[in-house]
């Protein structure tokens, strides 16, 4: 009765209560799962603040996971922003304050000599794990270092793996790597539950990561290990080190890229100008931004142009300014998108060119933001961009809402309703001529749950770039805007669980083609997807 994965609560029948020794331990009434979900929804709806709703849902998950997921499934658009972005950001900031019950594993640097024991201490009912989401809490959304509070992200992500991708919740495991924090407020907070220590230096940090990966691979050799919200300086090196050694991907780098490309697919079609013929500007040169641009460049090449020409069509601006080949402060990934300094020599700017300079001098058709610089897409910049193209494509993708480069209503006003918009966080629908128009949210939840379903069903051993591009293409094909130019660029949330099945099939097919999964026909893959996909229903006895 107190096992969250197996309990039915008041839905246990009289016969089941007799059989299981529960008679007298529950009220007499026998409820159905549907009735329980309606009751829980009424309770949820009495809580007006997002964090209170988040706490209620976490408590429900701890008490009855089947009911939790049934409630989420019945109200996906309303509950996703509470379970995940943007509310999960506040939950991470106040993690130590709202902590109630343990969930997942806290892998602490001081316990580095006992990593195998830590992993073996995972709950017995979660011994066979298909998906791990791990963070070190250093770059949570756009909120920076949250230390151990970052655990809210793996918990939230795995909820969506189950809700959308159908991954059995008993086969998921959230992990936070507690390697200290450089957040002084947390270090001085008497309520902080993490290791009260500055973050370990890179030499010790990467050695710890290596020990952790080795332990995971030995304990759970077939698990999908997803890296989440690692700082730019760590995210790319970790991905490159392990991506060819085990089943792993970085959602901030690869998942963000795939969903952005999926939205761009519909936008470019409506704009009447393929991506390979667009000039693309990205504000933000962190791991997520560079990941998006790598996928954009691959898509341009797939559309028939050379990699060199594709690179020449991509302009990246960071906190200093435009990435150019004369800068000495660029990472390897950033340098691959650096424009020749000679290309901007005639612009007449002192110092590095800024976003406004790029938009002024280049025939920009696509403007993307992953900078966490709130309001960076100013009215002047947007109006100039809109003067150069009939259907400007503008994606302020930074999370949370408070860090968005612009709000959709502003972009709509400044472009006279012509902008094709997708955001990183949820926003209210646009209202034009008395008609509400939903705004597409480039939430990675369109991709990563389907990826988890795909690799689990296909029994893949690696996640390849082409598998990610297959996911993006499948998502793009589901864009409502392809049949209705006034519709959002991405599907409605209520439709996403079924679309995830289609994406999973496309990814599984690509995994087979890439030689990282056993040979199976489409029919066999579809059967496997149906077999492993979990749905929130009570088992019958």
Active site residues: 84, 157
Q: How far is CA 354 from CA 279, 339, 381, 395, in A?
A: 16, 13, 11, 18
Q: Say how far apart CA 463 and CA 416 lie, in whole Å.
A: 42
Q: In whole angstroms, how large is the CA radius of gyration of the chain? A: 24
The reply, when asked if residue 139 is annotated as ligand binding, is yes
The reply, when asked if residue 121 is annotated as ligand binding, is no
Cis ω before 151 (30° cut-off from 0):
no
Q: Say how far apart CA 216 and CA 40 lie, in whole Å.
A: 37
User: Looking up tokens 């897409």, which residue turns up?
Assistant: 377
Q: Say how far apart CA 523 and CA 263 lie, in whole Å.
A: 28
The reply, when asked if residue 318 is annotated as ligand binding, is no
The reply, when asked if residue 252 is annotated as ligand binding, is yes
Q: Say how far apart CA 403 and CA 374 lie, in whole Å.
A: 4
Rounded to 5°, angle at Cα 243 from 284 and 256: 30
Q: Say how far apart CA 330 and CA 337 lie, in whole Å.
A: 10
The reply, when asked if residue 111 is annotated as ligand binding, is no
Buried b (16+ CB within 10 A) or exposed e, 500-525: bbbbbbbbbbbbbebebbeebeeeeb
The DSSP string of 439-504 is: PEE--GGGTHHHHHHHHHHHT-S---HHHHHHHHHHHHHT-GGGT-TTS-SS--GGGHHHHHHHHH
Q: How far is CA 198 from CA 177, 186, 190, 290, in A?
A: 14, 10, 16, 28
The reply, when asked if residue 443 is annotated as ligand binding, is yes
Residues annotated in a binding site for (S)-malate: 139, 399, 443
Instruction: Output the known binding site.
Output: 139, 228-229, 252, 399, 443
């Amino acid at each position: 009765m107190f096992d969250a994965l197996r309990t039915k609560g008041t839905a246990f029948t009289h016969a089941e209560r007799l059989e299981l020794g529960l008679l007298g331990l529950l009220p007499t009434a026998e409820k159905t799962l549907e009735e329980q979900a309606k009751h829980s929804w009424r309770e949820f709806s009495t809580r007006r603040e997002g964090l209170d709703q988040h706490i209620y849902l976490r408590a429900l998950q701890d008490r009855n996971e089947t009911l939790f997921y049934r409630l989420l499934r019945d109200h996906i658009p309303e509950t996703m922003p509470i379970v995940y972005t943007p509310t999960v950001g506040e939950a991470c900031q106040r993690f130590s304050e709202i902590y109630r019950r343990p969930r997942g594993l806290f892998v602490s640097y001081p316990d580095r000599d006992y990593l195998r024991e830590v992993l073996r201490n995972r709950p017995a009912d979660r011994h066979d794990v298909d998906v791990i989401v791990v963070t070190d809490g250093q770059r949570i959304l756009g909120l920076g270092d949250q230390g151990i509070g970052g655990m809210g992200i793996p918990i939230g992500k795995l909820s969506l793996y189950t809700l959308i991708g159908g991954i059995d919740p008993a086969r998921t495991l959230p992990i936070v790597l507690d390697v200290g924090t450089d957040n002084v407020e947390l270090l001085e907070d008497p309520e902080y539950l993490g290791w009260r220590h500055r973050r370990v230096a890179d030499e010790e940090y990467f050695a710890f990561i290596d020990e952790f990966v080795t332990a995971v691979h030995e304990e759970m050799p077939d698990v999908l290990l997803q890296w989440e919200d690692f700082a730019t300086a760590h995210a790319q090196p970790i991905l490159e080190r392990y991506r060819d050694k085990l089943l792993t991907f970085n959602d901030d780098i690869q998942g963000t890229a795939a969903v952005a490309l999926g939205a761009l697919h519909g936008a470019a079609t409506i704009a009447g100008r393929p991506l390979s013929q667009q000039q693309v500007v990205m504000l933000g040169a962190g791991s997520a931004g560079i990941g998006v641009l790598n996928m954009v460049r691959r898509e341009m090449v797939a559309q028939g142009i050379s990699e060199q020409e594709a690179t020449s069509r991509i302009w990246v601006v960071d906190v200093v300014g435009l990435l150019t080949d004369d800068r000495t402060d660029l990472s390897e990934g950033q340098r691959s998108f650096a424009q020749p300094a000679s290309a901007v020599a005639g612009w007449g700017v002192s110092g590095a060119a800024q976003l406004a300079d790029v938009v002024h001098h280049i025939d920009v058709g696509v403007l993307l933001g992953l900078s966490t610089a709130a309001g960076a897409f100013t009215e002047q910049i947007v109006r100039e961009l809109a003067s150069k193209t009939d259907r400007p494509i503008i994606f302020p993708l930074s999370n949370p809402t408070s860090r968005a480069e612009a709000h959709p209503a502003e972009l709509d006003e400044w472009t006279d309703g012509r902008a094709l918009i997708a955001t990183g966080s949820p926003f209210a629908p646009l209202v034009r001529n008395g008609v509400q128009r939903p705004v597409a949210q480039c939430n990675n939840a369109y991709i990563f749950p389907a990826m988890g379903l795909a690799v689990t069903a296909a029994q893949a051993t690696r996640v390849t770039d082409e598998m990610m591009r297959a996911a993006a293409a499948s998502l793009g094909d589901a864009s409502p805007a392809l049949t209705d130019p006034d519709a959002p660029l991405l599907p409605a949330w209520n439709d996403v669980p079924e679309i995830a099945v289609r994406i999973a099939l496309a990814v599984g097919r690509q995994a087979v083609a890439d030689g990282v999964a056993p040979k199976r026909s489409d029919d066999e893959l579809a059967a496997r997807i149906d077999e492993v996909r979990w749905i929130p229903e009570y088992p019958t006895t």
